[in-house]
């Protein structure tokens, strides 16, 4: 991605659709503006909301949105909700090729070009503002119908959120959601005021095993990356590790040490949000975490470790060191593990909610069929996993797939030499 901190401003397109008008006595109104990478809305209102939002994320920032804007031939759009003349909330919709998995049913698609809600939620001065949330949701629904948008993606949507409650009201208008049963555990750590208070929640035997893991790995050090001059070293080390992870073989190389990645980390550092780490064992890079801290929340985003050191648990050792660092240096309020219900997340977390990535389809037979196909496919897949998930055969199959990926990766590295 190419981050430009001071983009050239040109007049954006404004939707001809009539703005939402609230019947509430405070008179909420919503205005819609189109944008793309070259033609961007005025930044003053956007940045004002970003600076004063109660739950902003770095991906709400206009520089970030402009940098990641995809080349899909479609515009994005912002919806700004105002109370009188004062902006109180904003929705950022960005084009996306949504990968929906393998839906069952003829005519259902595995990939659809639609839009996603940027920033994992609305950019709001008050996240508890029910009227503003409802106004934005209603305007999204109207724009989806008017623009013939085929799918809207909501990433990391909390089950108990005001946004999800408001979205569900659209079912009465014919909108469909999938997967309908996707909400799963979302683990966090709510940090106490002292390290001792956090670590004392673990039993003495658990603390002993954690100390033993740190000793067993050998001589190691952890380097924190928060500043511009540290980015090149972090990228070099993380790229070296990434080539040795099992995720690279199955999902593709995660850290490429590219100009786009460097620009993204530079953006985070300039904003004051960069906080990534590398673990070195015997002087060699062994594990990395690409992460950020913003608005009191530390986000544990991208991680990987050298699979040749798997028995020494380098990822878990690095996590322990990160927790110690977070508890003693610029302590955030919350550690967010992101989606997923891994054992290590359950072990270290002290707070849990439920979140999911959901797709919303517009009214009509096509949208209803797409949602039903996805939901049916998930139900069948869950039934199959429940039927064989506890068997030795299933565990052996999963392990063999990982071993095959690791072996293939070793062969690939040998060929490269």
**Tell me: the pLDDT tens digits for 269-291?**
999 999 999 999 999 999 999 99
| pLDDT band at residue 31 under the 50/70/90 scheme | very high
Find all residues with CB under 8 Å of 63, minimum gap 6, and list them: 3, 4, 5, 7, 267
Q: Which two tokens mark 245?
A: 């992870």
**Tell me: the pLDDT tens digits for 178-226?**
997 789 999 999 999 999 999 999 999 999 999 999 999 999 999 999 9
Beta strands at 351-361 and 152-158: parallel, antiparallel or unpaired: antiparallel
Q: Which two tokens mark 10?
A: 């040109």
**Residue pointed to by tokens 């659709």:** 17
**Tell me: the pLDDT tens digits for 92-137?**
999 999 999 877 778 899 999 999 999 999 999 999 999 999 999 9
- pLDDT value at residue 394: 53
Mean pLDDT of 391-416: 46
Mean pLDDT of 20-35: 75
| pLDDT band at residue 11 under the 50/70/90 scheme | very low
Mean pLDDT of 393-407: 51
d(CA 121, CA 151): 16
- pLDDT value at residue 17: 40
- pLDDT value at residue 26: 65
Contact between residue 278 and residue 222 where contact means Cβ atoms under 8 Å apart: yes
Phi, psi of 100 (to 5 degrees): -100, 5
- pLDDT value at residue 400: 56
Contact between residue 139 and residue 104 where contact means Cβ atoms under 8 Å apart: no
**Tell me: the pLDDT tens digits for 341-398?**
899 999 999 999 999 999 999 999 999 999 999 999 888 877 877 777 555 665 555 5
Sign of the C-alpha dihedral computed for residues 369, 370, 374 and 380 taken in this order = positive
Helix, strand and coil in the chain, % to nearest 5: 45, 25, 30
Mean pLDDT of 71-92: 96
d(CA 349, CA 353): 11
Mean pLDDT of the residues in the chain: 87
| Superfamily name with CATH number, domain 192-332 | Gcn5-related N-acetyltransferase (GNAT) (3.40.630.30)
CB count within 10 Å of CB 166 equals: 18
Residues forming a β-bridge with 358: 154
State which H helix or E strand residue 246 sits in.
helix 246-251
CB count within 10 Å of CB 144 equals: 23
**Higher confidence at residue 379 or residue 402?**
379
pLDDT(10) > 90? no
Domain covering 28-183+356-379, topology: Aminopeptidase (3.40.630)
d(CA 261, CA 202): 37
- Decide: residue 193, CB within 10 A, 0-12 exposed, 13-18 middle, 19+ buried: exposed
d(CA 224, CA 228): 12
Q: Which of 102-111, 251-260, 403-412 has the highest mean pLDDT?
A: 251-260
Phi, psi of 300 (to 5 degrees): -90, 90
Beta strands at 334-339 and 297-305: parallel, antiparallel or unpaired: parallel
| pLDDT band at residue 252 under the 50/70/90 scheme | confident
- pLDDT value at residue 212: 95
CB count within 10 Å of CB 57 equals: 21
Q: Which of 12-21, 55-64, 120-129 has the lowest mean pLDDT?
A: 12-21
Contact between residue 81 and residue 45 where contact means Cβ atoms under 8 Å apart: no
| pLDDT band at residue 23 under the 50/70/90 scheme | very low
Domain residue ranges in the chain: 28-183+356-379, 192-332
pLDDT(407) > 50? no
Residues forming a β-bridge with 336: 188, 299
Q: What is the DSSP string of 266-321?
A: HHHHHHT-B-EEEEEETTEEEEEEEEEEETTEEEEEEEEE-GGGGGG-HHHHHHHH
Sign of the C-alpha dihedral computed for residues 112, 302, 249 and 404 taken in this order = negative
pLDDT(73) > 80? yes
- What is the distance of C-alpha 271 from the center of its chain? 18
Q: Which of 252-256, 294-298, 311-315, 343-347 has the lowest mean pLDDT?
A: 252-256
Helix (H, G, I), strand (E, B) or coil at 32: strand
Phi, psi of 351 (to 5 degrees): -150, 145
d(CA 393, CA 96): 38
pLDDT(9) > 70? no
d(CA 141, CA 109): 22
Residues forming a β-bridge with 123: 90
- pLDDT value at residue 411: 37
Q: The whole model's pTM is what? A: 0.84
């Amino acid at each position: 991605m190419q981050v430009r901190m001071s983009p050239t401003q040109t007049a954006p397109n404004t939707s001809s659709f009539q703005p939402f008008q609230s019947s509430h006595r405070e008179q909420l109104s919503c205005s819609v503006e189109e944008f793309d990478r070259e033609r961007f809305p005025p930044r003053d209102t956007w940045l004002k909301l970003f600076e004063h939002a109660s739950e902003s994320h770095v991906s709400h920032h206009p520089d970030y949105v402009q940098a990641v804007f995809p080349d899909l031939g479609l515009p994005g759009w912002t919806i700004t909700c105002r109370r009188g003349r004062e902006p109180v909330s904003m929705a950022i919709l960005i084009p996306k090729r949504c990968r929906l998995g393998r839906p069952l049913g003829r005519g259902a698609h595995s990939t659809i070009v639609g839009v996603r809600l940027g920033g994992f939620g609305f950019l709001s001065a008050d996240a508890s503002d029910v009227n503003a949330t409802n106004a934005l949701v209603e305007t999204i629904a109207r724009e989806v119908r008017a623009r013939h948008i085929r799918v809207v993606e909501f990433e990391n949507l909390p089950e108990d959120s005001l946004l999800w409650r408001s979205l569900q009201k659209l079912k009465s208008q014919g909108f469909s959601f999938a997967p309908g049963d996707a909400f799963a555990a979302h683990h966090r750590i709510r940090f106490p005021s002292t390290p001792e208070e956090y670590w004392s929640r673990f039993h003495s035997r658990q603390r002993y095993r954690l100390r033993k893991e740190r000793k067993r790995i050998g001589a190691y050090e952890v380097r924190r990356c928060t500043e511009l001059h540290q980015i090149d070293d972090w990228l070099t080390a993380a790229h070296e590790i990434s080539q040795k992870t099992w995720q690279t073989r199955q999902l593709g190389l995660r850290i490429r040490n590219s100009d786009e990645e460097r620009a993204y980390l530079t953006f985070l550092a300039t904003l004051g949000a960069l906080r990534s780490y590398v673990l070195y064992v015997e002087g060699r890079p062994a594990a990395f975490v690409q992460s950020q801290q913003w608005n009191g929340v530390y986000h544990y985003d991208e991680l990987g470790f050298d699979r040749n050191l798997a028995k020494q648990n380098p990822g878990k050792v690095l996590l322990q060191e990160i927790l110690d660092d977070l508890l003693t240096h610029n302590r955030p309020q919350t550690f967010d593990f992101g989606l997923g219900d891994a054992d290590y997340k359950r072990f270290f977390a002290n707070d849990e909610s439920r979140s999911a990535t959901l797709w919303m389809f517009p009214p009509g037979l096509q949208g209803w069929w797409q949602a039903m196909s996805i939901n049916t496919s998930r139900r069948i897949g869950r039934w199959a996993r429940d039927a064989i998930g506890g068997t030795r055969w299933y565990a052996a199959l999963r392990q063999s797939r990982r071993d095959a990926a690791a072996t293939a990766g070793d062969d690939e590295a040998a060929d490269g030499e």
